[in-house]
Structure 1
Amino acid sequence: MICKLRKRQGLWKRVYRSGLVPIFLTILVLGYGYYCMHDVVKTTYTINTQKNIREEGYRIAFISDLHFRTTMNETTLEQYCREIEMEHPDFVVLCGDIVDEQTNLLDLQKVFQTLSTIQSDYGVFFVYGNHDRASYNPKADFTPEQLTQILEQNGIHILQEENYSITEDFTIIGREDWYTRDSTITAKQLLTNVDTTNFLLLLDHQPRNLSENAAAGYDLQLSGHTHGGQIWPVGLITDLLGFGEMNYGYRKIDNFQVIVSCGLGGWGYPIRTGYHSEYVIIDIQKDPPVS
């Protein structure tokens, strides 16, 4: 018995010294990360409101941080668009970083042409992220002007510090990305000419100034940008050290609610170990009357 135990201990020592253990663990983590990035899931939320919205409520399809084509081509994107379409959204929101510095002009055309085909009652709405205009690459294959032109050609509504009322009781407000917007324009100022009895949906690529947005009177904010940390434990560390206001998921501040998506894709490399890639379906429902 003692002899067998010594042989096993010797075997484990040889395996350990060979360096196979860290190699195996690295392969395991990379494989899991590749799976999480490419296994796109549907995430659902139900938002209740005291606002007097229509009885049937609203359904939103929410996409952010695709970074086309880091993780998928147009054929795969088309498949997800058809999945989203089967959810029968009232409208679609693209909350920034749909493309980035590595996207070429042809892919820029393909991605927005594909996303614009998602059938909905009120169309597709877009706000800029920090990567969409390829600001970090002076040799990018497209210009910000070409991006804007392609969005408009595909009938996608661009919201930059402006609002759009889709019905008499629902208004969408879109912000410029935090890195490039005029810091003197407050969330409250954007509501100057808005009927605040409407349900107020704020689209902002980065989940910042949440307390300010809550105080301004918004009902729901949708954001991306964080990728849920993308590689664990980045998200956990940023939460613990207070580097970001919110990394992923849902939060409620009084009557103000926030949803942050980890994104349909990822930036830089096709691996994520924090959360699965996702598209988000949100149902907004009116609170039942108090009896």
Structure 2
Amino acid sequence: MTDTPAEVVETEPPRRSPRRWRRLAVVFAILLLLFGVPAWTLLTPAARWPLYVVAPGAALLAAAFLALPVTMTLGHGRRHRDWAAVVGDTLLGVGWVLFAWSVFGQAAKAVLALAGVEDPLRSRAVAVSVVAVAIVLLVWGFVEAMRVPRVRAVDVAIDGLGPGLDGTRIAVITDTHYGPINRARWSARVVDKVNEIGADIVCHVGDIADGTVGVREAQAAPLASVQAASARVYVTGNHEYFSEAQDWLDYMERIGWTALHNRHIVVERGGDQLVVAGVDDATAMTSGVPGHGADLAAALEGADPALPVLLLAHQPKQVRYAARAGVRLQISGHTHGGQIWPFNLLVRLEQPVVAGLSRHGDRTQLYTSRGTGFWGPPFRVFAPSEITLLTLRR
């Protein structure tokens, strides 16, 4: 006999860990804020809206509140339902824009109160303005997200660059995030624009797709047609570690790119040489994928220390290791420039830079791209996508 009968063991309900309950509480609190602030701003009793305005407005906000966690779980959880991901991502973007501008609306309401504007006119004016601004920004943001990015040209002066390398053209794409919205035609048009540049080196700096190679290959396939005079190089982003990172590395090698999985190549132009190195994403070490993890020492092993180094690293915060190693230029993505303003303020809490060229230490520069595609919500508000053309100068 045992002290614990089998039937008791089988019928005992599983216990949820305190960490899971805390996570659910945080998600619930975020949802309350995301939809609660707009609800209070748009449907406040002070506005004295008629019932035919309040009822459908409240129903829409309540439906969004309930649908968002369900569709996000179906779309980005184990089931990976693309239709659910599209719905959930769109609701997230709409909710964020409404939340942000509702906060500004509350500030405007205080100003109107000081100016002597009484309710219900004050509350109604704010509510209508918030809805109008949100609609305009969401329509414009959708167009911005779906268009082929403009080319952003930046000259970068590099210490120790040989004369033969002066004028080297580097085309940068990153954060393409091929995902639940099929953007195969968009992908082909991006490749056409990259090829128009006539770059010496073309870089893809990670977050190639949200999904496995088998699911997203049709959207990624145009990358095989990218043209570069000297090299096409790729490193992983954090999203590859949600969907078989090694398979994406193997796929990019298969279509003719060089996957810089903690290694480097040497590019020669005009008799001078440049080390082009790449490291895994900052999350690779804890991803559980064997043999993955950012290792700059391994990436530079065997490189001539007298040569300037160009480093591909998905996240800008990896620049602290680059600066210690004397890397001349790091190219990163990841931030999307915030994607939907003012989310860039939250991104800045985690990353040293949100977008553009910056200097770190005595010798190291960092270029952070706003990204070529988008993740999740199909909107870009005050954070335009880009294909970057970096021209190296002595």
Q: What's the TM-score, normalizing by structure 1?
A: 0.81
**CA deviation map 1:176-200 (0-9, x unaligned):** 1101138997535643421122220
* Counterpart Cα distance in 2 of 1:225 and 1:263: 7
2:259 equivalent to 1:158? yes
* Counterpart Cα distance in 2 of 1:25 and 1:122: 47
Structure 1 residue runs of 5 or longer lacking an equivalent are 1-8, 136-142, 287-291
Aligned CA RMSD, in angstroms, stands at 2.8
Tell me what 1:5 maps to: none
Identity level (%): 25
**CA deviation map 1:38-96 (0-9, x unaligned):** 34221111111232421543111100001014666222221221121111100210000
* Counterpart Cα distance in 2 of 1:160 and 1:184: 9
* Counterpart Cα distance in 1 of 2:165 and 2:213: 44
- Higher relative CO (CA 8 A, sep ≥ 6), structure 1 or 2? 1
Would you say the 8 A contact 1:227–1:263 is kept in 2? yes
**1:264 to partner: Cα distance:** 0.7
Would you say the 8 A contact 1:125–1:158 is kept in 2? yes
**1:164 to partner: Cα distance:** 1.0
**1:132 to partner: Cα distance:** 2.1
**1:270 counterpart SS class:** coil
Would you say the 8 A contact 1:133–1:147 is kept in 2? no
Moved more, 257-266 or 80-89: 80-89
Q: Which has the higher helix share?
A: 2
Tell me what 1:175 maps to: 279
Q: 1:237 to 1:58 in 2, by over 3 A?
A: same
2:181 equivalent to 1:74? no
The number of residue pairs the alignment matches comes to 267
2:353 equivalent to 1:252? no
Q: Which has the higher strand share?
A: 1
Q: What's the TM-score, normalizing by structure 2?
A: 0.61
* Counterpart Cα distance in 1 of 2:350 and 2:141: 24
Name the aligned partner's letter for residue 150 of structure 1: Y
Structure 2 residue runs of 5 or longer lacking an equivalent are 1-116, 286-290
Would you say the 8 A contact 1:34–1:271 is kept in 2? yes
Tell me what 1:94 maps to: 204
2:222 equivalent to 1:114? yes
* Counterpart Cα distance in 2 of 1:55 and 1:245: 29
* Greater radius of gyration (CA): 2
Name the aligned partner's letter for residue 164 of structure 1: I
**1:25 to partner: Cα distance:** 2.2
Name the aligned partner's letter for residue 209 of structure 2: V
Tell me what 1:233 maps to: 342
Name the aligned partner's letter for residue 352 of structure 2: E
Tell me what 2:250 maps to: 149
